Structure 1
């Protein structure tokens, strides 16, 4: 996480306040998983499911995790457009800040040309795994 520290003031005739600088070492570090358990009750459990999936796939597919969080944010916004529910405004603000942070870093790690292509790639991958496991399960239980 980057830390804000006060820098020495620049001595100009029209500037009297100190400037701040960021001491962040790298933008490529992975942030902490978004707390999927702190979803406001008024938003329901389906949003929590998308956030859990995002946390699980993030080490392998950070762009997919980002897209899951985008979908969770869109669902939260549809359910409570004006953020009137208890804790909804804080939740949506925290999620939006995380999305802004992840957008730039994850697009560089994208393996396909578009987000849709990225979703298709991951869908095919997991579908193949499920098909292989279901085939072996069928053979074992005959």
Structure 2
């Protein structure tokens, strides 16, 4: 998953969206750290019993439903109305030529603030987990 996330971040970077790319790299890095910390704690639980057919069926069912929904959404034609709106309004109302930046900062500023908050909280969570692990390692 981390490699896919890094690939998406590189696509953002190649498409001249460095702010999205940095956010994606930060989230991927923090996610990898959190997963590694969780896996360090899980090793003491013991072997996971195999043969949970109900769990497998439910997971496969939900995955199939989500896949079908996404394929159905992707099959719909995209309306150019939003693209045209943002292209027309970015310079006169947002005072910027980079449409993606104007959308993130001016039109969706609260959403961007929310993303920054999520990244900050994830960082605090990683810090707290690392601090806890250090305390448990001390004799």
TM more than 0.5: no
The structure that is helix-richer by fraction is 2
Identify the structure with the greater strand proportion. 1
Shorter-chain TM-score bucket reads under 0.3
TM-score after normalising by structure 2: 0.27
Highest RCO, 1 vs 2 (Cα 8 Å, sep ≥ 6): 2
TM-score (norm 1): 0.26
